[in-house]
Structure 1
């Protein structure tokens, strides 16, 4: 359903724009029980991962990145499992073919993808135009 996918990308767009009120409001409209929940954010996450690591990354490199990421969080690191994040990043880099990229909880997977995508967009220096391009590219991918 295009509406769910567009809504997810609206959530991500609000987060990237630091519109936290819009992010919270838009997030509340998503249904985590929908079978397609997370697909659009997953597509944007994979695109951002491949842009951030254009040459790919080995398992030790991914592990190091995840450890640095978790260490950089001012709060909330305890909400993420390092091994699950490593699998998620590997899955994003492989275009979804690495397997095991999902947390058991789809909402936790969505949260991890959102936070990492935000970080990668910032690391890549994507301004509003680059962010819109990423979101537009993600929509047809789902």
Structure 2
């Protein structure tokens, strides 16, 4: 796997630590041309969404959850197509890396932004402490390399 895998997880780690300067700096260093762009964050998202919905979720449950997420945003909710987000969650629950699904995929950058937003929200909801967050990120890195 490429160096972007570690960088992506570093970006997510900075976001989880509320290190917004580090988040911005690390985000700017990502190689958006890397064919694996977004895969590491997608793996972390998949782990988090399966922990949030360990028994799976119906389309209605996913839609309701996402309505709550989007409704809680002070700004930016209009940037994300709910059908696209539903596809990300459904793919994540199916064990996919949440990339390459059958939903309308706007572009790799929007996909990564959606994954970062949702993963951040899920990890906060799950109440994972910093050690548990590092474990999740480590597991995501291993899944991407496998």
The 5 A counterparts of 1:78-117 are 78-96=78-96, 99-101=101-103, 103-117=105-119
1:57 is paired with a residue whose SS is coil
Change (3 A) 1:114 1:97: closer
Distance 1:9 1:126 in 2: 16
Name the TM-score, length of structure 1 as normaliser.
0.95
Change (3 A) 1:34 1:63: same
Displacement after TM superposition at 1:104 (Å): 2.6
1:53 aligns with 2:53: yes
Question: 8 Å contact 2:43–2:97 — kept in the other structure?
Answer: no
Displacement after TM superposition at 1:3 (Å): 1.4
Name the TM-score, length of structure 2 as normaliser.
0.93
Displacement after TM superposition at 1:92 (Å): 0.7
- Any unmatched runs of 5+ in structure 1? none
- Any unmatched runs of 5+ in structure 2? none
Query: How many residues in Structure 1 have an aligned counterpart in Structure 2?
Result: 142
Change (3 A) 1:97 1:112: closer
Deviations 1:86-110 (A, max 9, x none): 0111011111288325623000000
Task: Give the structure 1 partner of residue 29 of structure 2.
Answer: 29
Question: 8 Å contact 1:89–1:101 — kept in the other structure?
Answer: no
